[in-house]
Structure 1
Amino acid sequence: MTALDVFWVGLGGGLGSLLRWWIGLRVGELYKGKFPLGTFLINVSGAFVIGYLSILFTVDWRDRYGDVMNAAVLTGILGGYTTFSSLQLDAAKLANARHRALAAGYLVISVVVGLAAAAFGAWLAR
């Protein structure tokens, strides 16, 4: 790992986080339901893009950190863009607000649809 690697991951992570914040803000302005739609859309779209780009960049899952494109885009931008911790927080808030079925459904559908989106992205890239 070099200082330049750290720079690219940091720059990409900052850009991805800003994009996540902006999309979450916009979705929150348009959608007022109980389902955490913003986080869901962000994670599913991020899964699709990382599935697509990992095939396009020929990235093995054990070596996602090796070059500038992987560091800046896959680890940086998409790592900053997607958010597992917000997914967990949203589910916990739903469960605490006595929406346990919605919380469980949100977790399951996020994982299933995210996996399908990543697989579809990879399939499209092939």
Structure 2
Amino acid sequence: MTALDFAWVGLGGGLGSVLRWAIGRMVGERYHGGFPLATFLINVSGAFVIGFLSVMLGVYWRDRYSTALVAALLTGGLGGYTTFSSMQLDAAKLATKSPFQAVAYLVLSVMTGLAAAALGAALANVMG
């Protein structure tokens, strides 16, 4: 690892975090329901993109820290963009009102994210 590797991951992470914040804010300004829609959309779209890019860039899960481009995009950018901790916080808040809603949200998030990642990978395979 070099200082440049750290810089690429940091730059990607910063950009991903800003994008997450902007999308979260836009969704929050328009949607006022009880479902954590912003976090859900961010995580699902991030799963789709990481599935797509991992195939397009030929990255196996053990190798996603390999090059500066991969580290900046996948580890930094999508790591900063997606948000496991916010999903957990949203579920904890939902659990105070309805444990069923919290579990449903977590299951829906994980299953939809998995499907989105698989769809992204499949689309990249079709595109060649």
**TM-score between the two structures when normalised by the length of structure 1:** 0.98
Residue 26 of structure 1 aligns with which residue? 26
Amino acid aligned to 1:13? G
- 1:26 positional shift: 0.4
| Aligned ranges 1:12-51 → 2 under 5 Å | 12-51=12-51
The answer on 1:111 being equivalent to 2:114 is no
TM-score (norm 2): 0.96
Q: Percent identity?
A: 70
* Structure 1 stretch displaced more, 50-59 or 65-74: 65-74
4+ runs of 1 displaced by more than 3 Å? none
Aligned length: 125
Which amino acid is 2:119 matched to?
A: F
The equivalent of 2:90 in structure 1 is 90
Aligned to 1:102: 101
| Root mean square deviation of aligned Cα | 0.5
What stretches of structure 1 of length at least 5 have no aligned partner?
none
Q: Distance in 1 between matches of 2:108 and 2:50?
A: 18
Give me the whole-angstrom Cα distance separating, in 1, the residues matched to 2:2 and 2:20.
Answer: 27
Secondary structure, counterpart of 1:34 in structure 2: coil
CA distance in 2, matches of 1:99, 1:45: 26
1:9 — aligned with what? 9
Give the whole-Å Cα distance in 2 for the aligned partners of 1:69 and 1:10: 12
CA–CA separation in structure 2 for the residues paired with 1:48 and 1:21: 18
Structure 2: gaps spanning 5 or more residues = none
Q: Deviations over 1:13-56 (max 9, x none)?
A: 00000000000000001000000000000000000000000000
What is the letter of the counterpart of residue 91 of structure 1?
A
